[in-house]
Amino acid sequence: MPVRLTDARAPLTHELDVLDEYGERRRIAIPAERALTVFVDTRELVTLMTLGAAPELLVLGYLRNQRLVAGVDDIDSVTVDWDVEAAAVRTRRGIDDFDAKTAKRVVTTGCGQGTVFGDLMGEVDAIALAPPADPAARISQATLYALLDAVRAKESTYKSAGSVHGCALFRQGELLMFVEDVGRHNAIDTIAGWMWMNGIDGRDKIFYTTGRLTSEMVIKSAQMGVPIVVSRSGITQMGLEVAQRLGMCLFGRATNRHFICYCGFERFDAEPEPKRAAA
C-alpha cells in the first residue's frame, strides 16, 4: 500500500529591505524558515525548522533516520498543514515502544547540536556497501564534473536567497532528486524519505551535499547504502574515519573543475587535468 502524502506548498523565500555598505537601501530575498511540528498518531514528536520545500518527504526521512518506524509500509499517511505548522503522521499499527525509543534519544543525542550519534554509530559496523569492483559503485572524474554541473543548474533558492543547503542523489551523472533546506540534516533526511518511499537502493548511487562531511552526514549516507559522497565544502576527522572504516569514497571542495578526494581512491577513476605550466 502506498503512503498517502499531501503536497503542502508555502513560499520558499521572503523579501525585505536591507541597508548595505554604501548606505543604500535595497530589496533582497532570504530563505523562508518555518516550524513544522510532527505528530505521530496524535502524539507530539518533534519540531523541525525547515525551508518547507518538501515537508512530507522530510517527515518520512526523519522518521526513518531516527529509526522510529521499521518500514515505510508501517506508515499510512503524512498530512502537512502549514496553517497550523503541523505534520500529522498516521501509522498503520502504531509505534512499538514509542516512549523507550524517544527517551533513549535524550541520552545519546546532541540535541540542538546536530547529532544522533549514539544510535547511528552503533549501526555503522553492520553496513555493507557495494564493493569498489562493482562499476555502478565507482565514479569517474568526468562523471564528477557532470554531477557538479547538474547541481549548479538546480539551486533555485540558493541562487535567489542564499543561506540554504542543497542535497542531491545521482545514479552516475543522472540527477534523480534534488532538495534545498535551511539545514543540511533536513536536506539529507528529505532525500532519505524520497528513497524510502520509492524503494530506491543506494548501492549504485552518489550523494551530493553543499554541506560539510561531518560524521553524521557520512553515517546517514552510509545508512542509505550510498558508497560515494561529494561535497562543496570540507570534511571533519570523524567524517573521514567513518568513511575509511566503511570503504566509502569522499570528495570535498568540489566545484567547477576542482575537488579533493579524501579517501576511497579505489572507487575513483581519475582522469587528471593537465597541470598548468609552471611560472
Strand, helix or coil for residue 107: helix
CA proximity to 45, closest of 119, 124, 103: 103
DSSP conformational letter for 128 = -
Q: Please, are residues 50 and 182 in contact by the beta-carbon 8 Å criterion?
A: yes
Q: Please, are residues 184 and 210 in contact by the beta-carbon 8 Å criterion?
A: yes
Chain positions 14 to 53 lying near a copy of itself, rule: CB under 8 A, are: 14, 16, 18-24, 28, 30-35, 44-49
Q: Quick one: which of 7, 83, 133, 272 contacts a copy of itself (CB under 8 A)?
A: 272
Q: Quick one: which of 110, 122, 131, 135 contacts a copy of itself (CB under 8 A)?
A: 110
Q: Any idea which residue has 503536497 for its cell?
A: 7
Nearer to a copy of itself, 28 or 176 (CB): 28
CA proximity to 148, closest of 39, 274, 255, 14: 255
Please classify residue 135 by burial: count the beta carbons closer than 10 Å to its beta carbon, then call 0-12 exposed, 13-18 middle and 19+ buried.
exposed
Least CB distance from residue 83 to a copy of itself, whole Å?
17
Least CB distance from residue 31 to a copy of itself, whole Å?
5
Q: How far, rounded to the nearest angstrom, does the alpha carbon of residue 31 sit from its chain's CA centroid?
A: 18
Grid cell listed for 210: 553543499
Nearer to a copy of itself, 132 or 234 (CB): 234
Chain positions 50 to 79 lying near a copy of itself, rule: CB under 8 A, are: 62, 65-66
Chain positions 128 to 157 lying near a copy of itself, rule: CB under 8 A, are: 141
Chain positions 209 to 238 lying near a copy of itself, rule: CB under 8 A, are: 212, 214-216, 233-238
> What is the chain's length?
279
Residue 265 makes contact with a copy of itself by CB under 8 A: yes
Q: Quick one: which of 166, 183, 202, 227 contacts a copy of itself (CB under 8 A)?
A: 183
Residue 116 makes contact with a copy of itself by CB under 8 A: yes
Residue 108 makes contact with a copy of itself by CB under 8 A: yes
Residue 239 makes contact with a copy of itself by CB under 8 A: yes
Q: Quick one: which of 185, 205, 232, 267 contacts a copy of itself (CB under 8 A)?
A: 185
Residue 172 makes contact with a copy of itself by CB under 8 A: no
Least CB distance from residue 218 to a copy of itself, whole Å?
11
Grid cell listed for 106: 535524550
Which residues make Cβ contacts (< 8 Å) with residue 209, sequence separation at least 6? 165, 166, 167, 168, 184, 187, 188, 217, 229, 230, 231, 232, 233
Least CB distance from residue 226 to a copy of itself, whole Å?
18
Residue type, 255: T
Least CB distance from residue 76 to a copy of itself, whole Å?
22
Q: Please, are residues 183 and 61 in contact by the beta-carbon 8 Å criterion?
A: no
Contact region with a copy of itself (CB under 8 A), list: 70-78, 89-97, 106-114, 198-206: 106-114
CA proximity to 114, closest of 191, 214, 224: 214
